Structure 1
Amino acid sequence: MVGCRQCTRVWPIGTEVCGLCGSSLESRDRTSLQRVFAWWLVGLLFYIPANLYPMLITRTMGRESDATIVGGVIELAQYGAWGVAFIVFFASVVIPVGKFIAIAYLAMVVRRPHGHKPRNLLHLFELVEWIGRWSMIDVFVVAILVALVQFNLIATINPGIAAVSFALSVVFTMLSAMSFDSRRIWDEIEIISEESSK
């Protein structure tokens, strides 16, 4: 069976045009990997300034200080807040870098026949999709701090350019993961079984 991407009506495989809405029918999205790599690259480009520029700009009693993501983690560790430092490091560095690696790995693997178990690849894809929404924790923390700490001359906290870059990076990597056609993982089983039957 093949489903129409416009009206979602299902037709027998081999049908070229949807009888309901007239759209062309394709069992697999041939451009999905191009979209995956395009969104992935844009997300990576935004992740670089997210780590180079300040995430928060703090003004206290006329003094201004700013902190990058890694700089903030180091400061938290120096103050003895190891738990918070670990959470920030894990959510801001480990998870995004892991997502970049996992998405690129999946997109590269499904391009040609491979010896990996499709079930393991599917679990990896599901993990990337599930964890994607939790990457916005940093952005929410910055938004809450900015809203709560506004004491005019005494203390104010404002978001830096890195907050916007980080949010855009998260959005683009989520779009990259959503563009991945997970059915391509299972196509390898069909190819292997056809070759073994011959």
Structure 2
Amino acid sequence: MSEGGTKVLTAHRAGLVGCRSCGRVWPEGTEKCARCHASLHPPDRRRLQFVWAWLAAGIICYIPANIFPMMRTQTLASLQGGTEATIIEGVIELIHYGSYDIAIIVFVASVVVPIAKFVAIIWLGLVAGKPSTAEDAHSRLRVFEVVEFIGRWSMIDVFVVAVLSALVQLGFVVSIHPGPAAASFALSVAFTMLSAQSFDPRLIWRGLPLQSSKN
């Protein structure tokens, strides 16, 4: 919405429906995009139920991911016992051995990023379709783009455990195995990504008024 009070016309109000795959707009009522052959549907707040469902599943899986051990280490064929470490315990151990940079990366990717994604998706779901200005809409769109971008980096803990489990298998001496938290964390990340992908960014623009309050 411009400061001069010009009308804000969205594709939905113009009788058009946009394709979420390629961005092409078509007349309302078109069922399939002729460019990429994707199914077309108008923005609908009722589809937010998919966002909430996937997000709830992600939060539920994130709880055991932080309670149960992420990695199990056995030495001398368990003759000297084994050790288990959760995500936070692993970060503390990295700090203890002076690996501050790796500890920061693991903490940010495994704790800060997932919680920030939960908060961001909840906020987007609550404000979707609500009254806003063009500036607010652009801010919400940037938040959504950030959530989608950082989603691919949320698996760093699972990748580290998988690589260590494949490489550090020295038979009788030492072996590393993923703990139950690894599967929970992977599921939490997958569900959260599905939640973000289920969110229709076109709902962000549904809250724009037809004209500014200055008119």
Q: Which residue of 2 aligns with 1:80?
A: 98
Choose between structure 1 and 2: higher helix proportion: 1
Note the aligned Cα RMSD (angstroms).
Answer: 2.7
**Structure 1 residues 27 and 103 mapped into 2: Cα distance closer, same or farther (>3 Å)?**
same
Q: Which residue of 2 aligns with 1:38?
A: 53
Please report the TM-score for the alignment, with normalisation by the length of structure 1. 0.86
Whether contact under 8 Å (2:129, 2:206) holds in the other structure is no
Separation in 2, partners of 1:138, 1:57: 14
Q: Which residue of 2 aligns with 1:50?
A: 65
Separation in 1, partners of 2:67, 2:143: 29
Tell me how far 1:187 sits from its aligned partner.
1.3
1:2 is aligned, of 14, 17, 38, to 17
1:149 aligns with 2:168: yes
Separation in 2, partners of 1:32, 1:82: 43
Whether contact under 8 Å (2:129, 2:204) holds in the other structure is no
Whether contact under 8 Å (2:58, 2:188) holds in the other structure is yes
Give the counterpart letter for 2:93 in structure 1: E
Separation in 2, partners of 1:17, 1:150: 54
Where does 1:93-132 land on structure 2 (aligned, <5 Å)? 93-114=111-132, 117-132=136-151
Q: Which residue of 2 aligns with 1:193?
A: 210
Separation in 2, partners of 1:79, 1:16: 61
Q: Identify unmatched segments of 5+ residues in structure 1.
A: none
Moved over 4 A (4+): 8-11, 194-198
**Structure 1 residues 147 and 42 mapped into 2: Cα distance closer, same or farther (>3 Å)?**
same
Select between 150-159 and 26-35 the one with higher mean Cα deviation: 26-35
Please report the TM-score for the alignment, with normalisation by the length of structure 2. 0.80
Q: Percent identity?
A: 53
Whether contact under 8 Å (2:44, 2:203) holds in the other structure is no
**Structure 1 residues 17 and 159 mapped into 2: Cα distance closer, same or farther (>3 Å)?**
closer
Q: In structure 1, the residue corresponding to 2:74 is in which secondary structure?
A: strand
Q: Identify unmatched segments of 5+ residues in structure 2.
A: 1-15
Tell me how far 1:197 sits from its aligned partner.
8.6
1:172 is aligned, of 159, 184, 191, to 191
Q: Which residue of 1 aligns with 2:6?
A: none
Q: Which residue of 2 aligns with 1:159?
A: 178
Give the counterpart letter for 1:43 in structure 2: G
Separation in 1, partners of 2:190, 2:31: 33
Tell me how far 1:29 sits from its aligned partner.
3.7
**Structure 1 residues 126 and 81 mapped into 2: Cα distance closer, same or farther (>3 Å)?**
same
1:27 aligns with 2:46: no
Aligned length: 192
Separation in 2, partners of 1:173, 1:11: 30
